[in-house]
Amino acid sequence: MVKKTVEGSFAIAEAIKNCEPDVVACYPITSSSHIAEGLAQFYADGEIKEYIRTEQEFSSISAIVGASAAGSRAVSATSSQGLALMHEVVYAAAGMRVPIVMAIGNRALSAPLNIWDDWQDSIAERDSGWIQIYCENAQEAIDTAPQAFKIAEKVMLPVMFCIDGFYITHSVETFEVPGMEEIRKFLPKFNPKLKLDPKNPVSLGVYAMPTHYQMFREDVHRDAAASLKVVKQVHDQYGKTFGRTYGDGLVEGYKLKDARFILVSMASVCGNIKEAVDALRQKGMKVGLLRIRSYRPFPYGQVAKALAKAKAVAVLEKSYNLGGKHPLYSDVIGSFVDEKKRPVISSIVGGLGGKDVTVRDCEGMLKKLAKGKHFEVWW
Amino acid sequence: MIIPHAKVGSSLKNKTGGWRSQKPIFNPELCKKCGLCQLHCPENCISGVEMDKKVEERSVAKTDYDFCKGCGICAKVCPFGAIKMVEEEK
Ligand code: SF4
Ligand code: SF4
């Protein structure tokens, strides 16, 4: 483990490199460009075996799907329009059960064109069967990279770990990046049972008639939902080896024990919410935060349990469902379908396209939700 | 966990000839054994024109109706009008 003061993206690139990927394929795009650049530098220095400079993102993901199908550990990084361009292959990757990994520097989708942070790019891919982990800070992203490969290769589903663009990708901090030797002990070599191999030829991702197609989707759904256990296990294992944990790996509670009013959110804004919670606690308000780390699979049970004693809850998300109920809000509501009682649950959409959500904003949200009445607002 | 895949040779069991609405008829009298049709057939089901041999040692082109989908590409590319598409009779 080496301590380094660098930009988040470069530290994340180093963590990915230390997972010894066989193939990297990237087309740099703001806000994840520096992850792609960092990986390219490692390739230039001979520390990564293969780096494919593709002409656009559809090719990047296609290349790593092919590499993974041939038995390689394969990875890419992208953002926003790049991920949107990958959309077709995002579904194919999950359906083909190739355990590729992508680092997503979250960024708003056009139009209007915007290069700053929100989650809609990756949230738009939530239904595909990919596992999605949202990291609060770059240290968590560094620690999540080896976990992502391990989870993916265990459940044979692709994983994206998401980091807020600029806030996290471009901030310089001091990080601990686990070394290659250490990661090797945690992350075994990728050795798929079935792969493209001239000695035992197969076609992967073949077509399915109406009699079988739905069965494959059902199978991915079942495995994705069941992977909650693996996401947690791998997180706990990592914690034991490297000494850093993030809640229980699925959700993280902050001052929840006696909290009556809870803000639910994900990713870096949770740092600000924690400060707001501290400030209001000093004034005697029983407030808390529930941070979702594993968005897909969604930990419905854990969320219901964590919020069971609350009087009122609000869900703050940098994502949306225009003309409908917003995604994270819907999932939190969905956590209570089997419960007889549930708190008042309100919805806040904020921070889109890099709109700042300050500590003061978070205090305002907590105060508003502490009034106990239902609301749905854009902050 | 089910990984959607097909073992080698499984396409041999899937006889796509049934999809045909038109059928290519190869006229051996007009075939000059150039091999163009064989090169273009998307089903790779035309055979006979052994390209590694001299023209006089090659056989004329013929197709395997178990797999020919009747796309008509062979008839289009044949420079000698040796292939005619006719309506499939069932
Ligand atoms: S009709 Fe199409 S499939 Fe059939 S032999 Fe000709 S090129 Fe091949
Ligand atoms: S293209 Fe025509 S002439 Fe040439 S091999 Fe085929 S059928 Fe014969």
CATH code for position B43: 3.30.70.20
Q: Are residues A60 and A148 in the same domain?
A: yes
Q: What is the pLDDT of residue A374?
A: 98
Q: If you average pLDDT over every residue of chain A, what do you get? A: 97
> Does residue B13 lie in a domain region?
no
In single-letter form, the type of residue at position A322 comes to: L
Q: Are residues A199 and A264 in the same domain?
A: no
For A372, residues 6+ apart whose C-beta sits below 8 A from its C-beta are: A261, A311, A312, A344
Task: Determine contact: A155 vs chain B, CB below 8 A.
Answer: yes
Q: Are residues A212 and A167 in the same domain?
A: yes
Query: How far apart are alpha carbons A101 and A153 in whole angstroms?
Result: 10
Contact A52, A25 (CB under 8 A): yes
Average pLDDT (A57-65) is: 98
In single-letter form, the type of residue at position A130 comes to: W
CA distance, residue B27 to nearest chain A CA (Å)? 36
> Does residue B48 lie in a domain region?
yes
Which residues span the domain enclosing B73? 20-87
Average pLDDT (A224-249) is: 98
Q: Are residues A90 and A182 in the same domain?
A: yes
Is the pLDDT at A207 greater than 90? The verdict is no
* Percentage, residues of chain A above pLDDT 90: 98
| Nearest by CB: B4 against A155, A201, A206 | A206
Contact A167, A107 (CB under 8 A): no
Q: Are residues A235 and A367 in the same domain?
A: no
Q: Are residues A210 and A282 in the same domain?
A: no
Q: If you average pLDDT over every residue of chain B, what do you get? A: 94
Which residues span the domain enclosing A150? 2-242
> Does residue B6 lie in a domain region?
no
Domain boundary among A242, A259, A278: A242
B3 with A201: Cβ contact below 8 A: no
Residue A143's Cβ-side half-sphere holds a number of Cα atoms within 13 Å equal to: 25
Q: At what angle do helices A80-96 and A57-69 cross, to 10 degrees?
A: 20
Q: Are residues A52 and A187 in the same domain?
A: yes
Q: What is the pLDDT of residue B90?
A: 67
CA of B61 to the centre of ligand 1 (A): 11
Residue A54: both structure tokens together = 């593709």
Q: Are residues A158 and A304 in the same domain?
A: no
Ligand nearest to the CA of residue B48, numbered in listed order: 2
Domain boundary among A242, A273, A295: A242
ipTM of the complex: 0.80
Domain count of chain A? 2
Task: Determine contact: B7 vs chain A, CB below 8 A.
Answer: yes
CATH value at residue A256:
3.40.50.920
CATH value at residue A76:
3.40.50.970
* Percentage, residues of chain A above pLDDT 70: 100
> Does residue B10 lie in a domain region?
no
Instruction: Name residue A332's beta-bridge partners.
Output: none
Q: A80-89, A218-227, B1-10, B46-55: which has the minimum mean pLDDT?
A: B1-10
> Does residue B80 lie in a domain region?
yes
Q: Is A247 left (phi over 0), alpha (psi -120 to 50) or beta?
A: left
Residues of chain B with pLDDT under 50: none
Q: What DSSP designation does A187 have?
A: S
Backbone angles phi, psi at A215, to 5 degrees: -60, -40
Q: Are residues A192 and A265 in the same domain?
A: no
Q: What is the pLDDT of residue B7?
A: 87
| Nearest by CB: B2 against A202, A204, A219 | A219
Is the pLDDT at A1 greater than 80? The verdict is no
In single-letter form, the type of residue at position A44 comes to: A
> Does residue B37 lie in a domain region?
yes
Confidence band for A296, pLDDT divided at 50, 70 and 90: very high
For A198, residues 6+ apart whose C-beta sits below 8 A from its C-beta are: none
The two beta strands, B22-26 and B83-87, are antiparallel
Domain boundary among A204, A223, A242: A242
CA distance, residue B78 to nearest chain A CA (Å)? 32
Cβ contacts (< 8 Å) between A96 and chain B: which residues?
3-4
Domain count of chain B? 1
Q: Are residues A42 and A117 in the same domain?
A: yes
For A341-374, how does the pLDDT look when each residue is reduced to its tens digit (9 = 90+)? 999 999 999 999 999 999 999 999 999 999 999 9
Confidence band for A289, pLDDT divided at 50, 70 and 90: very high
For A74, residues 6+ apart whose C-beta sits below 8 A from its C-beta are: A21, A22, A23, A24, A25, A63, A64, A65, A67, A68, A98, A100, A101
Q: Of A123, A220, A139, whose CA–CA distance to A175 is shortest?
A: A139
Q: Are residues A150 and A222 in the same domain?
A: yes
Q: What is the pLDDT of residue B89?
A: 83
Nearest residue in B to A98, CA atom? B3
Query: How far apart are alpha carbons B62 and B83 in whole angstroms?
Result: 10
Q: What is the pLDDT of residue B17?
A: 92
Q: Are residues A351 and A289 in the same domain?
A: yes
For A135-163, how does the pLDDT look when each residue is reduced to its tens digit (9 = 90+)? 999 999 999 999 999 999 999 999 999 99
Question: Is B68 close to ligand 1, i.e. is its CB under 6 Å away?
Answer: yes
CA distance, residue A91 to nearest chain B CA (Å)? 13
Query: How far apart are alpha carbons A99 and A255 in whole angstroms?
Result: 36
